[in-house]
Structure 1
Amino acid sequence: MTPRAVWRYADWVLTADTSGSGPIYVAECTTCGDASEASEETEGPEVWSLKHAGRTGHTGFRNIITSFSRASLAEGRR
């Protein structure tokens, strides 16, 4: 008997993972590359950006937001 492969296709969905912390925010200067500390609130990186601009004259910033998700099988397709 020749072995056969069995393929099983399933639908997956991606949802926000709320089991841990919320999004993580960081601001990064686009001139020199310095960055704020990571924070669960937007205020810290925003204040860091304003202080950095005041100290250096750098005015461009990249806002980096890391969120988390989880893949799971779609309901009714197990």
Structure 2
Amino acid sequence: MPVLYTACKDCTERSPATTDRAASDLWALEHAGRTGHRRYRECVSVDLYARPANETGGITP
């Protein structure tokens, strides 16, 4: 499951890391209401696993 946070582009504040996009969006709205800041970046982290083709389930060319 992706983990994300929202970062304010006008200051250094950011939301807590979460898997709940609505919580991250709500943080941005609340931050905008407190500060007047309107520019945000959504940062998403997804874990990946690389497996050699000769392991079970690998794709062989």
TM-score (norm 2): 0.84
Name which one, 1 or 2, has greater alpha-carbon Rg: 1
Cα deviation, residue 25, structure 1: 1.0
CA 1:68–1:51: 2 relative to 1, 3 Å: same
Confirm whether residue 37 of structure 1 aligns to residue 19 of structure 2. Answer: no
More helix by share: 2
Mark the runs of 5 or more structure 2 residues left unpaired by the alignment.
Answer: none
Mark the runs of 5 or more structure 1 residues left unpaired by the alignment.
Answer: 1-21
Cα deviation, residue 33, structure 1: 1.5
The CA RMSD over aligned residues, in Å, is 1.3
More strand by share: 1
After TM superposition, where is structure 1 displaced by more than 2 Å over at least 4 residues in a row?
A: none
Q: Percent identity?
A: 30
